[in-house]
Amino acid sequence: MPIDFANELNPSQLEAVMHQGSPALVIAGAGSGKTRTIVYRLARLVQDGVPPENILLLTFTRKAAQEMLLRAGSILGRNLSGTSGGTFHSFAYGVLRRNGRTLGFETGFTLMDRADSENVVKEVKDNLKLGKGDRSYPKKNTLLDMITKSRNKERSIDAIVESEAYHLSAYAEDFQSIAGEYTRFKQSHALMDYDDLLFRFEELLRSDPSLLEELRARYQHIMVDEYQDTNKVQARLVRLLSGESGDVVAVGDDAQSIYAFRGADVANILDFPKIFKDAKLIRLERNYRSTQAILNLTNHILAGAHTKFDKTLVSDRDTGRLPRIVHPLSDQTQAKQVVEEVIKLAKKYPLHDIAVLFRAGYQSYPLEVALSRVGIRYQKYGGLRFHEAAHIKDVLAYLRLTHNPADMVAWRRVFAPIKGIGPKTADRIAKARLTADGKYIAKAMKRFPALRELFDHLDGLRNCSRPGQALERINMFYQPILAELYPDDYPKRQTGLDQLSQIATNYTSIDDFLADLTLDGDQEEEKRKEHALVLSTVHSSKGLEWSAVLIIDLVEDRFPSKRALARPEDMDEERRLLYVACTRAKDSLTMFVPATIFNRFNAVSEPATPSPFIAELPGDCAEMWRETYASGLRQETQHAGTHASGVNGNALPAEPSDTLSPGPATGTPKLGICRHKIFGQGKIIAQIPPNKYRVNFPGFGLKVIVADYLELL
């Protein structure tokens, strides 16, 4: 039975769904039925006779792709499994694996996750003898950050250091050489990191025209979701695959761009019509998700942006209840109040339809304790992942070695539990293994009997072709090691390993299994728990929606995160992040602004300033509640922020030239460098009316300083 598209969709959605044969850009506001549009277009293509295998659907997470294909399939009443769908990274991985030889990986390659990459960077740094004895030398995390930022943004390391970490400029040269060595290490050990997947994929397409032709012939219809969060390579990849006038539909929302930190470039959306010939522009502006009361607030948040968005969402729904801004006395009592609020909400909505959102993973810890205490089940998105746990990585190391004997990262791991073998000896043995230096190996096995067992074990594994079977054997071998390594909680870790074995049985290829774990984090997450409250970072909440949303820790330094504010533009990204958070809510939105924050650095509760995004909101768009010392909540009768007077929803200073120009503000030239008597030279991040500046001082961090004390340079 044919689908009645005109009846199921609004005119703009219909236009997007019916579009075919040339490039199109769909600007889809939050909650405007973006997913629905993609799903229906998939269904429409297939209904019109397009074979599913000619469609490529690129999304931000693999879960999103799977869900869309599933929905399209159920509308059509047929299976769309032939469709290629996934993230840029997973798609690239698949092609690279089939064509690795072209790039010089004769026997394939191993994909590294973040932790692996960091370890390699650290090793490279040590080998170069950099930073010896320097306590304040940048950590491996920072080192890798600089390297991947430089790659993703396609700017030199020097440029990155200068614009967003200039307090590290003394190390810029080191970064350069570490980056060079890192690249060589990866190549010589058949390793790839996330960035390599994209860049080497591009390299492959450019160096192998016949492969490119083949892919183009196959993927005649391409759809890209979350286009605002693509970076430069990704945009080039789309263009390579589709051609300038191919059938490519990009969907995105410039107001929801929240991945600039990893090189996402809003310019991709803005330039789409320039790059793709005769691109059609379609706008989806009607919001089907949130109540008007919620949208009023989110529109205010967006209005304060320095980069202007010509976007005012209008709801298709009732006015609804006003959002609430709650001021607990501390972040400890905040947890208690969130729990109480959740209990109230749970009478109206199922638990999995309620979410608590926060800027960074660690911010939910106090809440997690409080939830456990009262016995509310929860599931957490973002933050630490299943496969990042040490014991999981240990077990996977054995598996990796069966396919890539050059994988030094894995060798280190499997040697570590053997007493007497430290990093040096480990390296030596691994090298001897590679160069077939039998003498050294024999000597080593004599000295460390456990080594023979290990090698026998690894040899045994190479006969297993199925990952499930291999993991069974590994678990047996690893069992005693686990108990010794983690005496406190090894039973709990054991269940994690059992889960891993379970997941592994779904795979027939070890390579695929390993890659999927690093590319997609949690398979475990698939079985999304029914009846469990959702805790999520805002980033991980992208694309999702809940009836009730609670946002915590809306105070200066946490949201906006002080770590994120290296450049003036970053403030706007934090703002968009809050916009994304608020627009997740369908019916109920509650925001928490604790008066004090516990600082684990000195174990003291410190006073906190409300987030500027909250302080600037006009009083009529939210109810204000305050925790009293009697530990109850009291609603404030007067209008919201007294400090918001005169701000009118726009905290940023009137900068005449910028307010007029649409599109991204060009570098905000008026916010420059300044000097302070005590803190020295610093970079001005924002102006705070009437007479203050927010300044980033290297070594001292962000400060809000009265203009009189600053010397502008």
- Residues in contact with DNA, counted by CB under 7 A, come to a total of 53
What distance in Å separates the CA atoms of residue 275 and residue 503, rounded to the nearest whole number?
A: 42
Contact 65, 59 (CB under 8 A): yes
Strands (E), 61-169: 84-87, 110-111
Q: Which stretch binds DNA (CB under 7 A): 75-83, 366-374, 378-386, 401-409?
A: 378-386
Least CB distance from residue 397 to DNA, whole Å? 16
Q: In 3-state terms, what secondary structure has residue 246?
A: coil
- Which one, 25 or 517, has the nearer CB to DNA? 517
What distance in Å separates the CA atoms of residue 455 and residue 146, rounded to the nearest whole number?
A: 38
3-state secondary structure 338-373: HHHHHHHHCCCCCHHHEEEEECCHHHHHHHHHHHHH
Q: Which stretch binds DNA (CB under 7 A): 288-296, 301-309, 357-365, 501-509?
A: 357-365
Tokens linked to 66: 């799977």
- Which one, 132 or 677, has the nearer CB to DNA? 132
Paired sense of beta strands 354-358 and 324-327, if any:
unpaired
Q: Which position among 336, 359, 391, 567 is part of the footprint of DNA (CB under 7 A)?
A: 359
Q: Which position among 150, 290, 334, 540 is part of the footprint of DNA (CB under 7 A)?
A: 540
Per-residue contact string for residues 620-659; x = within reach of DNA by CB under 7 A: ----------------------------------------
> Which helix (DSSP H) or strand (DSSP E) does residue 428 occupy?
helix 423-434
Least CB distance from residue 12 to DNA, whole Å? 29
Tokens linked to 37: 């549009």
**To 10 degrees, what angle do helices 114-127 and 140-153 make?**
110
- Which one, 561 or 681, has the nearer CB to DNA? 561
The distance from CA 470 to its chain's CA centroid, rounded to whole angstroms, is: 31
Contact 260, 163 (CB under 8 A): no
The distance from CA 486 to its chain's CA centroid, rounded to whole angstroms, is: 30
Q: Which position among 65, 519, 534, 685 is part of the footprint of DNA (CB under 7 A)?
A: 519
Q: Which stretch binds DNA (CB under 7 A): 37-45, 295-303, 516-524, 580-588?
A: 516-524
Contact 248, 277 (CB under 8 A): no
Residue 601 near DNA by CB under 7 A? yes
Q: Which position among 563, 675, 692, 703 is part of the footprint of DNA (CB under 7 A)?
A: 563
Per-residue contact string for residues 8-47; x = within reach of DNA by CB under 7 A: ----------------------------------------
- Which one, 12 or 152, has the nearer CB to DNA? 152
- Which one, 368 or 655, has the nearer CB to DNA? 368
- Which one, 199 or 219, has the nearer CB to DNA? 199
- Which one, 150 or 537, has the nearer CB to DNA? 537
Tokens linked to 380: 């957490």
Least CB distance from residue 61 to DNA, whole Å? 5
Residue 290's identity, in one-letter code, is S
- Which one, 545 or 553, has the nearer CB to DNA? 553
Q: Which stretch binds DNA (CB under 7 A): 6-14, 303-311, 507-515, 518-526?
A: 518-526
For 3, counting Cβ atoms within 10 Å of its Cβ (0-12 exposed, 13-18 middle, 19+ buried), the class is middle
Positions at the binding site: 28-35
Contact 366, 332 (CB under 8 A): yes
Q: Which position among 10, 20, 94, 131 is part of the footprint of DNA (CB under 7 A)?
A: 131
Residue 61 near DNA by CB under 7 A? yes
Least CB distance from residue 421 to DNA, whole Å? 5
- Which one, 135 or 347, has the nearer CB to DNA? 135
Per-residue contact string for residues 85-124; x = within reach of DNA by CB under 7 A: --xxxx----------------------xx---x---x--
Least CB distance from residue 383 to DNA, whole Å? 5
Q: Which position among 5, 166, 261, 598 is part of the footprint of DNA (CB under 7 A)?
A: 261
Q: Which stretch binds DNA (CB under 7 A): 255-263, 302-310, 613-621, 665-673?
A: 255-263
Residues 282-321 that bind DNA (CB under 7 A): none
- Which one, 580 or 593, has the nearer CB to DNA? 580
Q: Which position among 564, 578, 597, 705 is part of the footprint of DNA (CB under 7 A)?
A: 564
Q: In 3-state terms, what secondary structure has residue 463?
A: coil
Q: Omega before 560 cis (within 30°)?
A: yes
Positions at the binding site for ATP: 28-35
Q: In 3-state terms, what secondary structure has residue 183?
A: helix
3-state secondary structure 552-572: CCCECEECCEHHHCCCHHHHH
Least CB distance from residue 87 to DNA, whole Å? 4
Q: What letter would DSSP give residue 78? A: S
Paired sense of beta strands 354-358 and 546-551, if any:
parallel
Least CB distance from residue 612 to DNA, whole Å? 16
Query: Hey, what's the torsion of the CAs at 66, 69, 74, 75, to 10 degrees?
Result: 140
Least CB distance from residue 574 to DNA, whole Å? 8
Residues 433-472 that bind DNA (CB under 7 A): none
Least CB distance from residue 425 to DNA, whole Å? 3
Q: Which position among 262, 286, 308, 352 is part of the footprint of DNA (CB under 7 A)?
A: 262
Look at residues 654, 651, 579, 150 and name the one whose alpha carbon lies nearest to residue 357: 579
Q: In 3-state terms, what secondary structure has residue 64?
A: helix
Q: Which position among 194, 272, 411, 513 is part of the footprint of DNA (CB under 7 A)?
A: 194
Contact 114, 84 (CB under 8 A): no
**In the block, residue with structure tokens 């390659």:** 109
Look at residues 553, 527, 559, 525 and name the one whose alpha carbon lies nearest to residue 540: 525
What distance in Å separates the CA atoms of residue 344 and residue 349, rounded to the nearest whole number?
A: 9
Q: Which position among 273, 361, 641, 698 is part of the footprint of DNA (CB under 7 A)?
A: 361
Residues 133-172 that bind DNA (CB under 7 A): 133-137, 139-140, 145, 148
What distance in Å separates the CA atoms of residue 236 and residue 242, rounded to the nearest whole number?
A: 10
- Which one, 59 or 404, has the nearer CB to DNA? 59
- Which one, 167 or 675, has the nearer CB to DNA? 167
What distance in Å separates the CA atoms of residue 83 and residue 62, rounded to the nearest whole number?
A: 13
**To 10 degrees, what angle do helices 209-218 and 194-207 make?**
100
Least CB distance from residue 561 to DNA, whole Å? 5
**In the block, residue with structure tokens 């009697």:** 630
- Which one, 360 or 644, has the nearer CB to DNA? 360
Q: Which position among 383, 496, 641, 698 is part of the footprint of DNA (CB under 7 A)?
A: 383
Per-residue contact string for residues 395-434; x = within reach of DNA by CB under 7 A: ------------------------xxxxxxxx--------
- Which one, 601 or 629, has the nearer CB to DNA? 601
Kindly tell me the sign of the dihedral angle through the C-alpha atoms of 529, 530, 534, 537: positive
Angle at 479 between CA 476 and CA 481, to 5 degrees: 130
Residue 22 sits at φ, ψ, to 5 deg, of -155, 170
Name every residue whose Cβ is closer than 8 Å to that of residue 89 and which is 6 or more positions away in sequence.
194, 197, 198, 519
Q: Which position among 129, 274, 347, 600 is part of the footprint of DNA (CB under 7 A)?
A: 600
Least CB distance from residue 195 to DNA, whole Å? 7
- Which one, 327 or 683, has the nearer CB to DNA? 683
Q: List residues binding DNA (CB under 7 A).
A: 60-61, 87-90, 113-114, 118, 122, 131-137, 139-140, 145, 148, 194-195, 259, 261-262, 359-362, 381-383, 419-426, 519-521, 537, 539-540, 561, 563-564, 566, 600-601
